[in-house]
Amino acid sequence: MINQVHTNCKDCAFAVYSGKTQTECSAGILERYKKEGAEIIEVYDDSGKEFFVIDNRLCSYHREKEWAKKYSKSELLNIVKSQTKSPYHVMILYREGSSKEDLGTTLKSLAEQFNPPNIVSIISMEKTESIYELNMQLESIIKKYDDKFDWRIQNILYSETTDRQAIDLAVDGTYFKYTFPYYLVFESGFEVPKDFTEELHNSIMFEGKKMVFCHPIEGSMNGMLVNRLLHRKHTGNAFNIHIEDKLSAFEEGIKSHIFKIEEICPSIKQK
């Protein structure tokens, strides 16, 4: 029996037919779902047309043939691939004593990702006589990636501000300007593995994982992932209570949506 949640390949632009029988998916998505354990069911309609149904999955690649007519076959797949990549926000913790070289390492690794961030916030906690001069130095590094992502600098002037409080300020500073489902945190100097965002993408799209929080690598803030709407709902880390503790206390059934980042993106284990 087919679940209520499913994807019908019948009129998809990527469905390949031999006569009235679908033989494959030109985007290779059926094989990806099979690899991840999804059930692919062969069905037919009243006209005798035979096609596949991906059970218990909503295929993000499904596009109606009428919509696809405005694109050439050579560009259609690239357009849909781009459309399926989730936008996200990255926050880089640039603490007192961080080096400009370390920041450059982290930014370069983000720019070279399968899915670069849409917006990067450098959370600068460095104390200096001239914030303007510091910001010009930081800007000279991040401007190299103007073609990859938007960016901003969040200066933290109060020395007692914690990492979590600084993250809340960065979320508040972008909330109404950008739309993205989640944000990620990395420490300046951390080199994000090249496979990181592709693993994240595959976990969401093909494995059907719905993460609302991912614990970072133990002993660091690297890889912490937080759902943006739930951050807002629970006022982030306000009142010195971490967002993950609020989620566990107030969101029913949340345990199945909380992971370690290594469970979602195995490549980060190497770091």
Q: Quick one: average pLDDT of 204-213?
A: 91
Q: Quick one: average pLDDT of 219-227?
A: 97
229 lies in the same domain as 108 = yes
104 lies in the same domain as 67 = no
Whether 267 shows a pLDDT value over 60: the answer reads yes
pLDDT of 208 reads 84
98 lies in the same domain as 191 = yes
Please report whether residue 1 resides in a domain. Answer: no
Whether 270 shows a pLDDT value over 70: the answer reads no
pLDDT of 271 reads 52
Q: Quick one: average pLDDT of 42-47?
A: 94
190 lies in the same domain as 251 = yes
Q: Quick one: average pLDDT of 191-195?
A: 97
Please report whether residue 165 resides in a domain. Answer: yes
Percentage of the chain with pLDDT > 70? Answer: 99
More confident residue, 269 or 187: 187
79 lies in the same domain as 93 = no
67 lies in the same domain as 114 = no
59 lies in the same domain as 97 = no
pLDDT of 257 reads 97
Going by pLDDT thresholds of 50, 70 and 90, the confidence category of residue 9 is very high
69 lies in the same domain as 148 = no
Question: Can you give the residue range of the structural domain that contains 77?
Answer: 6-83
CA 193 distance to own-chain centroid: 14
Please report whether residue 205 resides in a domain. Answer: yes
- What does the chain look like in DSSP terms, one character per residue? ---SSEEE-TTBTTEEEETTEEEEETTSHHHHHHHTT--EEEEE-TT--EEEEEET---TT--BHHHHTTS-HHHHHHHHHHHTSPPEEEEEEE-TT--HHHHHHHHHHHHTSSS--SEEEEEE----S-HHHHHHHHHHHHGGGTTT-EEEEEE---TT--HHHHHHHHHHHHTTT---SEEEEEETT----TTHHHHHHHHHHTS----SEEE-STTS-TTEEEEHHHHHHTTTTGGG--HHHHHHHHSTTGGGGEEEHHHH-GGGGG-
Whether 219 shows a pLDDT value over 60: the answer reads yes
Q: Quick one: average pLDDT of 133-158?
A: 96
Give 116's contacts (C-beta < 8 A, 6+ positions apart).
110, 148, 149, 197
Q: Quick one: average pLDDT of 201-228?
A: 95
pTM of the entire predicted model: 0.89
119 lies in the same domain as 18 = no
User: What's the burial of 22, exposed, middle or buried (CB within 10 Å: 0-12/13-18/19+)?
Assistant: buried
Mean pLDDT of the chain: 94
159 lies in the same domain as 76 = no
Whether 28 shows a pLDDT value over 80: the answer reads yes
Out of 16, 48, 83, a domain closes at: 83
130 lies in the same domain as 218 = yes
Whether 220 shows a pLDDT value over 90: the answer reads yes
Out of 83, 110, 135, a domain closes at: 83
Long-range contacts of 234-239 (CB under 8 A, 24+ apart): 235/168, 236/164, 236/167, 236/168, 236/171, 237/164, 237/165, 237/167, 237/168, 238/168
**Beta strand 182-187 with 224-227: parallel, antiparallel or unpaired?**
antiparallel
Q: Quick one: average pLDDT of 94-122?
A: 97
Whether 1 shows a pLDDT value over 90: the answer reads no
How many domains are contained in the chain? 2
78 lies in the same domain as 63 = yes
Out of 25, 48, 83, a domain closes at: 83
Bridge partners for 92 per DSSP: 122, 186
